[in-house]
C-alpha cells in the first residue's frame, strides 16, 4: 500500500488529499497556506491524472501516520492559481474556492507582491530606482524574484543583482516607507517583516539559481567585469546541477522520489559522468538499468530542454533543503 503513495510526489499527495476533502474543506486548508504552497498544490491538482483507489487509500493512510509531523509545502500568483484551479475544477466550481483563497487573504503592501504574477510585479517596479528594485526582489522568494528579474530590461539585471549582493539590510523606517508606497496601489500593510536578513551575496546567488542559464551566465559575466571579487563570491554560493554529487545518498534518494523519470532523463542527457553515477548508485539495480537504457534510447535533445530539466530538479532540491528534508552541499558550503 505504501508503494502506491510513493509513486506520487509530495505535492501530488497533498492534491489527492485536498480533492478528497471537498471544496469547502479544501478551501479552509488552502487559506492557511502561503502563496508558494498554494501554487504548488494548485498546480498538482490541475495536472493530476487518474488516481487509483489504492493510491487514494495509501495517501490517506500516510497522512494519518505523518499528520503530527506534517509541514507546509511552498510563491505563486493570483492569476496562476486561478488558471490551475479552474482547469482542475471547472469555472463554476472553482469560483467560490478562488474567492476564499485569494480574496480572503487580505495581503497588503510588500506582501501583496508575493501573490502577484511576476510580469505584473515587473511592470510595477521597472521605473523605480535600481536600489528600490533590489530591495523588492530581496523581499520576494528567490524563484519568484528570478522570474520578475527576467521580465526587467536585460541591461538592468546585472546592476540589480550586484545591488542585491551588496545589500546589508535596510533601516526599518525605509522599508516601512516603501511598504506605504505600495499600500497606495494595494490595500496597506500592518506588519512589515524585519529587513535585517534581506539582500547579501547568498540572496543574489539564490535568485540567479532560478534564472535561465543563458541569462544567468550573462548577468554573472557582466558582474565579474565590474567587480571580479563580487562575481566570484556570488558564483561560489550558487548551487548548480553538478553539485548534486556533494549531496549525501539519503538526500539523493529523497530527491529522486520527487521528480519524474522523463525530467530526470532529460537532465542527465547533459550531465557529467560523476552526476550520472551518483544517480545510478542511489537507485535499485533494475531501476538504474532501465534508466541507462532510456538514456541510450533517447535521441538528441535541445540544450535548452536539458537546462530546463536541470533547473526543475534544482528547484525541487532547493525547496526540500528549505524544508529540512535534505542538505545540499556545494563548493564546500552547506546550502540550507
Alpha helix segments (H runs only) across 151-282: 157-165, 172-183, 201-209, 213-226, 228-237, 249-256, 261-269, 273-281
CA distance 6 to 335: 26
Nearest to 4 by CA among 69, 63, 57, 70: 57
pTM, full prediction: 0.49
Written as tens digits, the pLDDT of the chain (336 aa) is 445 555 677 778 788 878 777 777 777 777 777 777 777 777 777 777 677 777 777 777 776 666 544 444 444 455 666 666 666 666 665 655 555 455 444 445 667 777 778 888 888 888 888 888 888 888 888 888 888 999 999 889 999 999 999 887 676 666 666 776 676 655 434 444 444 456 788 888 888 877 887 888 889 899 989 999 898 888 877 877 888 888 889 999 999 988 888 889 999 988 889 999 999 999 988 989 999 998 888 888 888 888 888 888 988 887 888 778 888 754 334 333
Neighbours of 311 (CB within 10 A): 21
Residue 151 CA: distances (Å) to CA of 67, 143, 145, 155, 310? 40, 13, 10, 11, 21
| Structural domains in the chain plus CATH codes | 2-103 (no CATH), 109-237 (1.10.220.30), 241-335 (1.10.220.30)
Amino acid at each position: 500500500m505504501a508503494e502506491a503513495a510513493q509513486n506520487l510526489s509530495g505535492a501530488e499527495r497533498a492534491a489527492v488529499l485536498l480533492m478528497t476533502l471537498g471544496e469547502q474543506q479544501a478551501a479552509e486548508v488552502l487559506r492557511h497556506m502561503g502563496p508558494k504552497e498554494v501554487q504548488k498544490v494548485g498546480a498538482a491538482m490541475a495536472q493530476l491524472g487518474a488516481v487509483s483507489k489504492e493510491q487514494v487509500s495509501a495517501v490517506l493512510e500516510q497522512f494519518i501516520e505523518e499528520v503530527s509531523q506534517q509541514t507546509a509545502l511552498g510563491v505563486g500568483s493570483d492569476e496562476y492559481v486561478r488558471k490551475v484551479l479552474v482547469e482542475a475544477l471547472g469555472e463554476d466550481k472553482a469560483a467560490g474556492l478562488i474567492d476564499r483563497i485569494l480574496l480572503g487573504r487580505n495581503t497588503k503592501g510588500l506582501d501583496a507582491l508575493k501573490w502577484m504574477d511576476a510580469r505584473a510585479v515587473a511592470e510595477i517596479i521597472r521605473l523605480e530606482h535600481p536600489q528600490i528594485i533590489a530591495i523588492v526582489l530581496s523581499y520576494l522568494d528567490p524563484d519568484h524574484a528570478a522570474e520578475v528579474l527576467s521580465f526587467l530590461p536585460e541591461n538592468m539585471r546585472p546592476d540589480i543583482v550586484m545591488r542585491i549582493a551588496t545589500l546589508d539590510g535596510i533601516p526599518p523606517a525605509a522599508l516601512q516607507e516603501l511598504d506605504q508606497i505600495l499600500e497606495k496601489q494595494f490595500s496597506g500593510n500592518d506588519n512589515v517583516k524585519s529587513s535585517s536578513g534581506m539582500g547579501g551575496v547568498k540572496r543574489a546567488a539564490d535568485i540567479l539559481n532560478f534564472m535561465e542559464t543563458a541569462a544567468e551566465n550573462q548577468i554573472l559575466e557582466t558582474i565579474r567585469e565590474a567587480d571580479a571579487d563580487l562575481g566570484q563570491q556570488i558564483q561560489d554560493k550558487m548551487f548548480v546541477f553538478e553539485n548534486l554529487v556533494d549531496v549525501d545518498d539519503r538526500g539523493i534518494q529523497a530527491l529522486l522520489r520527487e521528480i519524474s523519470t522523463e525530467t530526470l532523463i532529460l537532465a542527465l542527457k547533459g550531465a557529467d559522468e560523476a552526476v550520472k553515477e551518483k544517480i545510478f548508485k542511489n537507485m535499485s539495480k533494475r531501476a538504474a538499468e532501465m534508466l541507462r537504457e532510456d538514456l541510450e534510447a533517447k535521441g538528441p535533445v535541445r540544450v535548452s530542454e536539458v537546462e530546463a530539466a536541470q533547473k526543475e530538479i534544482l528547484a525541487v532540491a532547493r525547496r526540500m533543503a528549505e524544508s529540512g528534508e535534505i542538505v545540499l552541499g556545494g563548493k564546500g558550503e552547506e546550502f540550507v
